[in-house]
Structure 1
Amino acid sequence: MTRTSLILAAAGGSAALLAGAYLFQALGYPPCPMCWWQRYPHFVAVAIGALALVARGPALPWLGAMAALTTSAIGVMHTGVERGWWTIQTSCTGGGDLGSLSGADLLSTEAPRIVMCDQVAWSLFGISMASWNAIFSAVLVVLWVLAARASATSRGVTRAA
């Protein structure tokens, strides 16, 4: 694959994952805070991809790889929270103390629906959306790295042996 096609595939992959996330949201699966965290690096990767198509050199593809790696790592962290492998200190994992509130206080609040990060809202083959994001984003890291290597090769930049 050429540098351009690798960048298009990598940035397009992030755009597709974002589109899928928004589709699930439209279908009634609101995102938890950690789901939002996973989206931000994809937005960055799409922007980097647009820039990398007009600018030369390996720097932007390497930044794209870092963005994809970041969202993949957040997906792994989110998967661990969903599966109970570890806990993180965030307001979306439950365990809060509501003992100080009366029943009337709880019923009188008009809070939006709270989506918990430690609950799997949807899965396919036992793999949650956070896990799928981690997997697909890891593939995008590989595409970005290949694009960076192709950029370095096309400029005559080689690694010392």
Structure 2
Amino acid sequence: EYGFGIQPCPLCLEQRIAYYFAIPLAALLALGAAAGASRKVLVLGLLAIAVGMIWNAGLGAYHSGVEWGWWKGPQDCAGPINDLGGAGGLLKQLQSIRIVRCDEVQWRFLGLSLAGYNVLISLALAATALWGALKIWNGGYGSSSVSQ
């Protein structure tokens, strides 16, 4: 989006929500781990990140299906125009608004769109969070002085 001219569609923007949730939570968990937080708190936080990333992978897969034409996307991906406000309102809005459609891929690399790469990244992050949660739950985290 910044510097590359790729404008996000409504589904693209929705896929960012999981990262807005996971990144601060991961930072808090790292601080908590350094401060000796309990294993239960760390495991629950990592499980929350994993669930969010799995949800995001599903949303990315849905978006990829919309891009490939396997199913229709939500109505807001067509850019509805609301409140025309008079006789010339429609023309004025059409001239000033660029509609970013969810079914039009703006960039592909190796056959995958950004939605496809989001699926892969989200699954990798979910797997990493689950691995960390299992490692902590099984006692593989920190020293023996970590509070249980």
> Is this a same-fold pair by TM over 0.5?
yes
The runs of 4+ residues in structure 1 deviating greater than 2 Å are 104-112
For residue 27 of structure 2, what is the aligned residue in structure 1? 50
Residues 59/155 of structure 1: CA separation in 2 closer, same or farther (3 Å cut): farther
Q: CA deviation at 1:137?
A: 1.0
C-alpha displacement of 1:113: 1.6
Take 1:129 and 1:155, find their aligned partners in 2: how far apart are those partners? 35
Moved more, 83-92 or 113-122: 83-92
TM-score, normalised on structure 2?
0.75
**AA in 2 matched with 1:56:** S
How many residues align structurally? 126
The alignment partner of 2:77 has SS state of: coil
Partner of 2:18: 41
Q: Distance in 1 between matches of 2:133 and 2:126?
A: 10
Change (3 A) 1:93 1:83: farther
> Is the 8 Å Cα contact of residues 73 and 102 (structure 2) preserved in structure 1?
no
How high is the TM-score relative to the length of structure 1?
Answer: 0.70
Per the alignment, residue 116 of structure 1 pairs with: 101
Match of 2:144 in 1: none
Between the aligned residues of both structures, percent identity stands at 30
CA distance in 1, matches of 2:56, 2:22: 10
Q: Which runs of 5+ in 2 are unaligned?
A: 81-87, 142-148
Q: Take 1:56 and 1:130, find their aligned partners in 2: how far apart are those partners?
A: 36
Say what the alpha-carbon RMSD is for the aligned residues: 2.3
**Which runs of no fewer than 5 residues in structure 1 stay unpaired?**
1-23, 97-103, 157-161
Which residue in 1 is equivalent to 2:83? Answer: none
